Amino acid sequence: MIFEPTLLPGAYVVRPERRRDERGSFARLWCREEFAAHGIEIDVPQASLSTTQRAGTVRGLHFAWPPAHEGKLVRCERGRVFDVAVDLRPRSAAFLRHIAVQLDAEEANAVYLPPGVAHGFQTLVDNSAVLYMMSESYRPELGDGVRHDDPAFAVRWPVPVTVIAERDRSYPDFDRERHAARFGAHAVH
């Protein structure tokens, strides 16, 4: 696997190294030892699959408050998505910055997002499916989100939004001080 660092500390784009022959191809998509060699110690107690019918749909931006320590390996299993991560770690050098990566089922590329980073995506084609491998089981009492169009993050979504859940649309404007206070004693870098 090829690990490409991003501008968010601890976040990587992960590309498979395909072996091709007359039968097709083979690629390793997960290897605990290769992730550990890049400083990512991740156990995978939970995996989730999100399916989305319409192109242009936005899901997110979601994150988990400390003390959750939820990292994610995200891969598009069917279709193509515009994947976005926003650094919400107040002590991070990239606080409030974001990255965007096109994840494509044909490429089998993925993105690893460390704890404290909000995640969302927009489908670029109909009938897309996204797989999450998570370092912790989901804890709904710590789950939260920020708005996909919040000016604090300046995310430029590639196509007009066709569908978005009411919950995702109705998050309040991001409040930097309130957010940092809630992270408080939980030093997530």
Choosing from 98, 119, 132, 148, the catalytic residue is 132
Nearest to 158 by CA among 74, 88, 101, 94: 101
Per-residue CA distances from 175 to 150, 165, 168, 180, 181 (Å): 11, 21, 16, 9, 10
| CA angle centred on 67, ends 63 and 68, rounded to 5° | 45
Q: Is 62 among the residues known to form the active site?
A: yes
Choosing from 62, 98, 119, 148, the catalytic residue is 62
- 171: tokens are 């998050």
First-to-last C-alpha distance (Å) of the chain: 25
Contact 94, 87 (CB under 8 A): yes
Q: Is 189 among the residues known to form the active site?
A: no
User: What are the catalytic residues?
Assistant: 62, 132
